[in-house]
Amino acid sequence: MAGLKELLYQKILEQRPRVARLAKEHGSVLLDQVTIGQAIGGVRGVKCLVTDISHLDPEEGVRFRGKTISETFAVLPKIPGSEYPYVEGFWYFLLTGEVPSIEQTLEVVQDFRNRREVPQYVFDTLRAMPRDLHPMAMLSGAVVVMQRESLFARRYNEGMSKKDYWDPMYEDACNLLAKLPAIAAFIYRMKYKDDTPIASDPDLDFGGDFAHMMGIAPPYDDVARMYFILHADHESGNVSAHTTRLVASALADAYYSYSAGVNGLSGPLHGLANQEVLRWIQSVMQELGGELPTEEELKKFLWKTLKSGQVIPGYGHAVLRRTDPRYLAQMEFCKIHLPDDPMFQLVQMIYKVAPGVLREHGKAKNPWPNVDAQSGVVQWHFGVTEYDFYTVLFAVGRAIGVLANITWDRALGYPLERPKSVTLDMLEEVVDAQG
């Protein structure tokens, strides 16, 4: 058994009795209550999901396995000369909660290299799709056709025991994750670069190989590592994470489940916001003849967007109530690598002006920027100007978190998700009964 898989199995054996004890001895302890407002308001804030992979504090932002973003970046092994850690080491950390040594990280790097090759029929399927299809639809389709590779589905059909579910789920998760950089880069080069794919370099790591297959020189390899880690997980209630887990709870395999999560990520209120930010910034620049606006002009443009009934993309959040630390991490990168980029300067100006406008507007509970307000600027600077591709990058990162989660879900035997619905009549009856 490989090092990571063996450690994961030890951790699973440690955690199983905790879940069993909570379910058996404390199953009736009240965790939360649900108001009518929450039932008709998107289940905001109701505590009814369990994950140890990451946690989101409304003020502080995300912690991965208990560590803040900067702690995560600081402790994980890096390639000499790189500012950001190996994605493979981060995968080890998310799965086990333990910081890997460089040797343990390199084992995963090698393991992923062995799993990297994408079946030719996936590329053939992508080539058969209309070129003007959104790249998120391409990604979702590419992943779902690979379902024929699922070990979980095969072993389930052979009659596997429940206690073994985690093993083929882990194998599927690693196989799928290791292939995503090649699939994403293929979509990019096929759709936007006259179908000129670049072959994987067997000597490179996850982030480095992705940059290489995109055809973009360093430090884009570090951009990729940073980007994938920042987008990996945001606890379990967001649409992409929750969709993946919901679908997996029916014992659908990792390919079906993650593909469903990708579809959820493609909504403009979720992952698609990063392309919307760029579209919005472009329209500001266009209206002002390519010039940077003054703060007054920007304010007018923000109000124009709000008055036309649209949201300011990249601002607000369902849980966060402060500036997203994922936004700040990218801002730090921009300050070092692209301080004079006009688009970065505009994003900084929006950061100065938009929270005040949103507060005055009085609707958004959180007037501060989220991860998507900054991420497109970094991509644009390094030549990825095709902004409808940005959510694919988010999706590759999100795979790390959701695949770790569904591996653990199978390991801990979490059941089929099935919340209960009520009718509007029932809600009114509850109100009347309480007088």
Binding interface with ligand AMX (CB under 6 A): 238, 269-271, 273, 306, 311-318, 363-366, 370-372
| DSSP3 helix / strand / coil % (the chain, rounded to 5) | 60, 5, 35
Query: Is there a catalytic annotation at residue 242?
Result: no
Tell me the residue ranges of DSSP E strands in 135-231.
Answer: none
Query: In the structure encoding, which two tokens stand for residue 16, read together?
Result: 């199983």
Catalytic residue among 212, 317, 324, 409: 317
The SS3 of residue 56 is strand
Q: Which is nearer to ligand AMX, 57 or 98 (CB)?
A: 57
Q: How far apart are CA 393 and CA 371, in angstroms?
A: 13
Whether omega for the bond prior to residue 339 falls within 30 degrees of 0, making it cis, is no
Q: Which is nearer to ligand AMX, 204 or 353 (CB)?
A: 353
Query: Is there a catalytic annotation at residue 270?
Result: yes
Using Cβ positions, the residue closest to ligand AMX within the complex turns out to be 316
Q: Which is nearer to ligand AMX, 284 or 318 (CB)?
A: 318
The SS3 of residue 66 is coil
Query: In the structure encoding, which two tokens stand for residue 103, read together?
Result: 């040797």
The phi and psi torsions of 311 (rounded to 5 degrees) equal -90, 160
Q: How far apart are CA 235 and CA 406, in angstroms?
A: 13
Q: Which is nearer to ligand AMX, 214 or 371 (CB)?
A: 371
| Least gap, CB of 306 to ligand AMX (angstroms) | 6
Give the bridge partners for 61, in sequence order.
Answer: 57
Catalytic residue among 167, 324, 372, 409: 372
| Least gap, CB of 319 to ligand AMX (angstroms) | 8
Q: Which is nearer to ligand AMX, 130 or 309 (CB)?
A: 309
| Least gap, CB of 277 to ligand AMX (angstroms) | 7
Catalytic residue among 270, 324, 381, 409: 270
| Least gap, CB of 372 to ligand AMX (angstroms) | 5
Which H/E stretch holds residue 54? strand 54-57
Asked if 323 and 352 count as a contact pair (C-beta separation under 8 A), the reply is: no
| Least gap, CB of 135 to ligand AMX (angstroms) | 17
Catalytic residues, by residue number, are 270, 317, 372
